[in-house]
Chains A and B, each alone.
Chain A
Amino acid sequence: MRASMFNISVRTVDGTRVVLFNTLRGSLCVCESADLPMVDRFLSEGAFKPTSSGERDFLDRMMELGYAVEDQCDEIEIVRNRKLAGMQDPNRLDVIVLPNMNCNFACPYCYESHEPGSAMSSEVERRIVAFLKAQIPRSSVLLLSWFGGEPLLNHGNVVAVSKAAQDICRTHDVALVGNVTTNGYLLDAQKARALVDCGIYNYQITVDGPPAIHNRTRRLRGGGETFDRVFENITILAKTDPRVRISLRVNFNHQNIDSIPDLLELFDPAICSSLRVVFEPIFGDHCLSATENIEAPEISEKLFRYYAMARTLGYDVTLGALPIGQLVYCYAERENQFIFSHVGDVYKCSVSRFSPSQRFGYLDSRGALVRDDARWQSWFRMDLFEEKCYSCQYLPLCMGGCRRARCEGVETGSYCRLVPTNASFALKAIAFGGFEELLCRIGVAEESLVVEMNSDREVSK
C-alpha cells in the first residue's frame, strides 16, 4: 500500500482539521483533531507501517477512500485511459459551425481576424446538412454549436441547419443540444423565438461589466455603445422559453475584474435563475491578459467571492474548481468533434484565426469529410501529456492543458497556474467556511454526496 500521488490537503485556520481531496477519485473528507497525527504522517511518509489498530483502521479508511492505493496500482495509466476514452468517445458528435467570419463588434481582446461580408453559401449549408445526415445516426447525442464571427449576422443559416439537424435527430432518436455563442446585439424577440423553435436553448452572451465598462470593450465595429441593447435582448431571451439557459459571460482582466459585482446587481431578479454566470480570464497579448496582470491567487479569491455573490442574488452558479472524472482537456481533443467554417473548411480549435493554411480538411460536395492527414495526425498523435504533467497532482482535474498550445509551443497554457489556485481556494473555502453553502457551489451531485460516517454530525445538501 502507498499514498496516492493525487492527494492534496489544506489545514483549517485553527489547525484542528485537515481537508483531504484526491484529484483522481474525487474523494473529499475532513479529518478531525484525533486523526491529525496519523494524517500528518500519512501525508509526509505515505502509507506508513501501522503499529496499532487505530492506525490500521485509519490506513484502511485511506485505502477505501482512494487516498492510498495498492503498490501495483498505476495511477498514471488510469489517467491515460481516461484521456483515450474521452478522445475516442463514440457517443457524442460535437459540431461547431461558423456561418461567417464577420462581426459587428470590435472588441480589443478578440483573437479572430474578421472578414467583413463573409457568409456561408447555400452550397456549404447543404454540405453541412449532408454531413449531419450521415453522422447523426451513428451517435447518441449531437452538440450543435454556433460560433463565428457573430453567428446571428447569418441568422438564416443558423435556423436552416439547426432545423435540419433537429429533424434528423428526431428521426434517429438522437438527443440534440443546441448552443449559440453571440454578442446578443441582434438577438431580438423574433430571432430568439425562431432559434428556440429549432431546439436551441443554450446561449452564451458576453457582458463585460456595467454600462460604462462594457461599452469600452464591447463596442460596435463602426463605433457605438452596445450595453443597453444587449441587456434588453438578454432579458427578452430569458423570457422566451423556460428551457432557455444563458451563460452570462464576463471576460475579465485587471481593467474590469472589480466591476463584476456592479454588473451582477443590474439584472432583473426574475430572470437571474436563467442566467449562469461565467467569469473567464482574457488571454493573449500581455497588456490585456488577465493572468499576466493579476496574480493567480487574487483571481481565485475574487472569483470565489463574486460567484458567492451571484448565488446570493439568485443567478445559476456552479463552481467547477474540483471537477471529478474529466476525460479530456477540452472538446477539441475529441476525435468526433469538428468545426466547420463558412466556406466548408474543417478545424479543431475555436481559438484560431481560421486561415485556410491551418485547416484540418474540408467537406466535399457530398458532405464527406476530406481530412488533411498530416495535420490530423499531428493533432492526435502527440503524447497524451507533457513530461511535467506526469508528476502533477492536479493532472486529473485539467487532463493536460491546451492541445493547441502544446502543438504550437509545448506549453500547457494558463492552466498550470489557475487549476492549482482554484482547487486550493475551493478546499480552503471548505476548511474555513460552511459546508452546505460550499457544497452547493461546487456542484456536488446528489447521488455522490455522502452523509458522514463515524461522527454525530451530518453533512447534507
Chain B
Amino acid sequence: MIIVRKPKKEAEVLATAKKGADKEKILKDMVARAECCVDHLCGCR
C-alpha cells in the first residue's frame, strides 16, 4: 500500500478557526483553503 497522504487530524482542521489562532497559520490556511464559491477546481485554492 502506498500512502500518499495521511489523514488530517480534526484538531488540525479546526486549528485556525479557534480563538487566538496563530496569525501566520491563519494566512497560510487561507491560501490553502480559499473559498471561491463556484467551482472547486478553482486555482486559487
Contacts and interface: CB of A to CB of B under 8 A. Distances in A.
A414 B39 CA distance: 8
B39 A32 contact: no
A277 B43 contact: yes
Contacts of A81: 14
A378 interface: no
User: Interface residues of B: mostly helix, strand, loop or mixed?
Assistant: loop
Interface in B2-16: 2-8, 10, 12-14, 16
Given A175-B27, A247-B44, A324 B37 contact: no
A65 B4 contact: no
Interface residues of B, number: 36
Interface string A350-382: 010000000000000000000000000000000
Contacts of B10: 78
A170 to B, nearest CB: 13
Interface residues of A, number: 81
A452 interface: yes
Contacts of A50: none
A66 B8 CA distance: 9
Contact of A439 (B4, B8, B21): B4
A397 B30 CA distance: 16
B26 A320 contact: no
A27 B6 CA distance: 5
Nearest to A430: B4
Interface of A: 22, 25-32, 35, 61, 65-66, 78, 81-82, 85-86, 88-92, 140-141, 143, 174-175, 177, 247, 276-281, 283, 300, 303, 307, 316-321, 323-332, 351, 397-398, 402, 414-415, 418-419, 422-423, 430, 435, 439, 443-445, 448-450, 452-455, 457, 459
Interface of B: 1-8, 10, 12-14, 16-21, 23, 26-27, 30, 32-45
5 contacts: A28-B4, A141-B27, A323-B33, A331-B37, A418-B40
